[in-house]
Amino acid sequence: MATGRTLVDVTLPLWTVGYGSRSVEQVIELLGGNGIDCLVDVRTSPYSRFKPEFNRETLNHDLTRAGIRYVFLGDALGGRPDAPECYMDGKVDYDRVREREIYQRGIDKLVAAWRQNMKVAIFCSEGKPEECHRSKLIGPSLVERGIEIVHIDENGDGQTQDQVIARITGGQIGLFGDPSFTSRKRYGPESQDS
């Protein structure tokens, strides 16, 4: 059965998690409980006005103390790129983001870490994976490379990429292949006029 994908060992998933309403201690406990040894931060801006304990430097410090490596890739894999061509009607068009060389290099780095059998978790702010670019942008790119994705949802449960996409689409996949997604919010100049 040819799928066009490189067949790889999918016994080691690549995880995703968002902090949502969790504390740093709860995130570290979730990571430790799943044996994660590297957290890859994919927030475009790794700072929070409301939860400063998740600011880049503070989070890096707390993770290091817990024996978890922190890597920032929000410049390559963030959900709000600085390229105007990635926006349509103020929303981020994830199909356009996927075409960018910097994005592809970021995905290559995740794949390289995974191929070295590192237990990696992709990290963002949204607790619900269906509300985050982890599932709409990064997840499909990794699945295309033959990597199993497990999204830790807002309840701490693991969800496959297919389960999260079903939550987004209500189980209705498009007639013409995989669905296309945009950001939930408007970030571009068009949103300021509305």
DSSP state letters, 115-180: HTT--EEEEES-SSGGGSHIIIIIHHHHHHTT--EEEE-TTS-EEEHHHHHHHHHTT---TTSSPP
Alpha carbon distance, N-terminus to C-terminus of the chain: 49
Q: Whole-prediction pTM value?
A: 0.85
131 confidence band (pLDDT: 50, 70, 90): very high
Mean pLDDT of 87-114: 94
Mean pLDDT of the chain: 86
Whether the predicted pLDDT of 103 surpasses 50: yes
Whether the predicted pLDDT of 186 surpasses 50: yes
Which residue has 């410090």 as its token pair? 61
**pLDDT in the model for residue 183:** 54
